[in-house]
Structures are given as structure tokens and as C-alpha cells.
A = this chain, B = another copy of it.
Amino acid sequence: MYQRPTAHQIDPLTGEMTGASGRYEKRISDLEGLYADAAAFAARVAEDPDHVVYRVFEQRPAQAKGDLIFGTTWMEPGRIGAEYYMTRGHIHACANRPETYYGESGEGLMLLESPEGETRILEVRAREMVYVPPMWIHRSVNTGDVPLVMSFCYPSDSGQDYGIIERSGGMATRIIATATGWEAVANTAYRPRSDAEVAAVLATVG
């Protein structure tokens, strides 16, 4: 009659989560258009199109509204040109839905952007709980030299809009490698959202 309580062991190094209801992978050839250096991207794809950049384990319970989806993200370390590996990124389709990301191992960043284009950056490491509030576009970046593993949790009626980043020519900020770590630089291809585009995001609030 009721959903069954479950327990899921998480491996902090591989991100494997036992009993997950689903998993998916993003390979380098799935990530066209994310990186500034198109030539470096093309060379990497030519070298190994099936190279896995990140992998997600997730548990989606049955109830659509008021329930939670949780899981793990495992991200390979690496760069395309100077730019660190990142996830595709999204805003929730119902934009006022939040998400928590909890560092399991490795080092990285949560790169956040408001609909109006304000950037925020939070560091993620083991035992760091990052709160992505309602209304923020977000993407994870692995700035370390080992995999970045995080567990996550979000409301089951959130949905994902991945197109919001693509429509603006990427996020306003790129994360690149420096001699001593990372640096945030402006994405020169970025086109700020128009008032109408911002209004369209605000209209998804539920």
C-alpha cells in the first residue's frame, strides 16, 4: 500500500549507489558547445568519443509531488583547453525548486547564475553541503585532479530545463585553470536573458 523504505550504500570514491532506480552517463561527445575551445573539444572527441565525463546514479520514488529524488554525481577530472570539466547544468523546470549537493570526495565548484545573470560560486569538498536555492541555474565543475563525487537531493516535481544555458550562449562565467588553482572569467559568447526570457522563467514558479 505504501512505498517501501529503502537504504542505499554510497561509495564516496566511485559514486556508486546501491539499489538505485536509474543511472546515466554523459560522454564527451554528448557535450558539444559547452567549452570555449572548440578545437580542443573536437580533438578530444576524435581521440575518444566515448570518454565518460560524468555519471549519475539516482533513486526516483513513485510519488510525483511532495516527494524527493536523490542520488550521486561522479565527475572525471580533466580540462578542455584551459576549462575544467563541468556538467551540462540546468535550472529546474519549476524554477523555484531547490537542490542540495553534498561533497563525498574530490574538490570542485558549484557555479550558480540567477535568471538576470548574477554569478555565485561555492566550493564543494567532502562534507560540504551546498544549498542551491529556488531560481538559480547551476552547474558542477571539477577543479581537482581526482574525481569529484557528490550526493544530491531535490523535490520530485522539480524537472530540469537544460536549454536555458544553451539559449544564452552558455553561463556568464567560465572556470579555467591557473598555475595555482582556478579562476572565474567572463564567457564572451554569453547573451544576457531579455526581460521576456526572465519573465518566462518566473512564470514557471509553482
Contacts and interface: CB of A to CB of B under 8 A. Distances in A.
A17 B120 contact: no
Nearest to A122: B7
Given A68-B100, A153-B153, A2 B134 contact: yes
A68 B103 CA distance: 18
Nearest to A156: B98
In this complex, the interface size class of chain A, counting residues with CB under 8 Å from chain B, is 35 or more
A11 interface: yes
Given A114-B2, A155-B66, A131 B8 contact: yes
Contacts of A153: 68, 70, 100, 153
B134 A70 contact: no
Q: Among A98, A132, A151, which residue has the most Cβ atoms of chain B within 10 A?
A: A98
A3 interface: yes
A133 to B, nearest CB: 4
Contact of A4 (B67, B104, B133): B133
A7 B67 contact: no
A112 interface: yes
Contact of A6 (B4, B131, B157): B131
A111 B3 CA distance: 15
By Cβ-Cβ distance, the 3 closest A-B pairs, closest first, are A3-B133, A8-B129, A7-B122
Interface of A: 1-12, 17, 59, 61, 63, 66-68, 70, 94, 96-100, 102, 104, 110, 112, 114, 116, 120, 122-124, 127-136, 151, 153-155, 157, 206
